[in-house]
């Protein structure tokens, strides 16, 4: 099968690699290089880097719906379009007569939108998965051709769940492309939205319930990441679980947990400013953290 692949983020890489192995990837469309890092040098997307490594035709438009880009895509001989985390809405002119599918990181209609993986952890879902859908005028509202389901781990972060969900993509997409295109329509009564995240979303209030805080910490790890000031150090909190023991909000208790509004937080992993990620025990030993010290949320 001849395929045009559209994607920008790492989420689509496993599926792109599989499609390249088993089908004919005629062209790859991705976002143009953006400045990033301390030196602010332009960086290609992970998808663009793979295209160059494999010497595949690469298109990097600022606007996918620009008439010149539309014309270029139409000139490519392809049967199918596969879209994964591309970042732009495709017009009907771009799609044309192609059978076009999208891999989305949730069990639609739950968690339509830009941040479904984060939302599934923050809201306390026990399971999640990926869906292959048709492209539609409304965001993530297409026909569902197939799904794959997994359980969410009790200490799993959004970054870890992202990688596990990405690994589900290849088999599901290949099965849909080889199948009879049977589908089910999404139930609009069950729709929930996972909007794009900002750093503000990860600001935490230690007066909240430990269950809620632990889910936020894991759901926003590694980005946008929750921060606490501990022993005067700005720390990115990477992983935590709730504890039933209570105390004065913000204080480090004898068992090493941090008291919050209801219960306490057991920090499993954190990253102090200017340091590498480490366990809570290593952090405390290296900085002689004392029982009774007060922690503050970083705003």
- Domain shared by 185 and 218, yes or no: no
- Domain shared by 131 and 204, yes or no: no
Structurally, how many domains does the chain consist of? 2
Computed over every residue of the chain, the mean pLDDT equals 96
Closest C-alpha among 128, 135, 170 to residue 152: 128
What's the whole-number mean pLDDT along residues 231-256? 96
The better pLDDT of the pair 41, 153 is held by 153
- Would you state the pLDDT for residue 39? 75
Residue 6 has pLDDT above 90, yes or no: yes
- Domain shared by 117 and 210, yes or no: no
Lowest mean pLDDT among 93-97, 105-109, 237-241: 93-97
What's the whole-number mean pLDDT along residues 155-184? 97
Residue 295 has pLDDT above 90, yes or no: yes
Q: Which of 147, 179, 194 is the last residue of a domain?
A: 194
By residue range, what is the domain housing residue 75? 2-194
52 and 21 Cβ atoms separated by less than 8 Å:
no
* pLDDT per residue as tens digits for the range 7-18: 999 999 999 999
pLDDT tier, 36 (very low <50, low <70, confident <90, very high otherwise) = confident
- Would you state the pLDDT for residue 40? 78
> What percentage of the chain carries pLDDT values higher than 70?
99
- Would you state the pLDDT for residue 287? 86
The better pLDDT of the pair 235, 287 is held by 235
- Domain shared by 225 and 282, yes or no: yes
- Would you state the pLDDT for residue 286? 87
Distances (CA, A) of 99 to 29, 78, 83, 137, 197: 16, 10, 11, 15, 31
- Domain shared by 28 and 170, yes or no: yes
- Domain shared by 87 and 172, yes or no: yes
> In sequence order, which ranges of the chain are alpha helices (DSSP H)?
13-22, 46-53, 67-74, 92-95, 116-122, 158-178, 210-219, 280-287
CATH number of the domain encompassing residue 259: 3.10.25.10
- Domain shared by 213 and 128, yes or no: no
- Domain shared by 118 and 250, yes or no: no
- Domain shared by 151 and 267, yes or no: no
Distances (CA, A) of 250 to 31, 100, 247, 257, 289: 43, 51, 8, 10, 14
What's the whole-number mean pLDDT along residues 267-281? 96
Q: Which of 194, 226, 243 is the last residue of a domain?
A: 194
- Phi and psi for 262 in degrees, rounded to 5? -135, 110
What's the whole-number mean pLDDT along residues 42-70? 97
Q: Which of 178, 194, 210 is the last residue of a domain?
A: 194
What's the whole-number mean pLDDT along residues 224-250? 96
Residue 4 has pLDDT above 80, yes or no: yes
CATH number of the domain encompassing residue 159: 3.40.50.170
The better pLDDT of the pair 35, 294 is held by 294
What's the whole-number mean pLDDT along residues 268-294? 94
- Would you state the pLDDT for residue 20? 98
* pLDDT per residue as tens digits for the range 109-148: 999 999 999 999 999 999 999 999 999 989 999 999 999 9
- Domain shared by 157 and 112, yes or no: yes
* pLDDT per residue as tens digits for the range 188-211: 999 999 999 999 999 999 999 999
- Domain shared by 9 and 120, yes or no: yes
What's the whole-number mean pLDDT along residues 99-116? 98
37 and 66 Cβ atoms separated by less than 8 Å:
no
- Would you state the pLDDT for residue 132? 98
- Domain shared by 64 and 144, yes or no: yes
- Would you state the pLDDT for residue 253? 96
Instruction: Record the pTM.
Output: 0.96
């Amino acid at each position: 099968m001849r395929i045009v692949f559209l994607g920008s983020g790492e989420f689509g890489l496993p599926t792109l690699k599989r499609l390249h192995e088993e089908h004919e990837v005629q062209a790859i469309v991705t976002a143009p290089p953006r400045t990033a890092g301390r030196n602010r040098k332009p960086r290609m997307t992970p998808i663009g880097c793979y295209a160059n490594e494999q010497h595949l035709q690469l298109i990097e438009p600022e606007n996918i719906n620009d008439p010149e880009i539309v014309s270029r895509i139409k000139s490519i001989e392809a049967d199918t379009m596969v879209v994964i985390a591309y970042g732009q809405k495709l017009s009907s002119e771009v799609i044309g007569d192609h059978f076009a599918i999208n891999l989305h990181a949730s069990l639609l209609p739950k968690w339509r939108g830009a941040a479904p993986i984060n939302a599934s952890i923050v809201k306390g879902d026990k399971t999640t998965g990926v869906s292959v859908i048709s492209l539609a005028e409304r965001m993530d509202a297409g026909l569902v051709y197939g799904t794959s389901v997994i359980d969410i781990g009790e200490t799993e972060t959004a970054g870890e769940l992202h990688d596990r969900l990405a690994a589900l993509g290849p088999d599901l997409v290949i099965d849909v492309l080889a199948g009879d295109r049977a589908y089910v329509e999404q139930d609009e009564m069950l729709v929930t939205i996972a909007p794009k995240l900002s750093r503000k979303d990860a600001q935490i209030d230690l007066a909240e319930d430990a269950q809620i805080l632990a889910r936020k910490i894991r759901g926003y790890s590694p980005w946008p990441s929750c921060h606490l000031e501990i022993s005067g150090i700005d720390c990115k909190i990477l992983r935590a679980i709730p504890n039933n023991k209570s105390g004065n909000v913000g204080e480090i208790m004898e068992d090493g947990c941090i008291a919050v509004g209801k219960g306490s937080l057991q920090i499993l992993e954190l990253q102090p400013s200017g340091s590498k990620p480490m366990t809570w025990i290593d952090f405390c030993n290296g900085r002689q953290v004392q029982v009774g010290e007060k922690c503050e949320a970083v705003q």
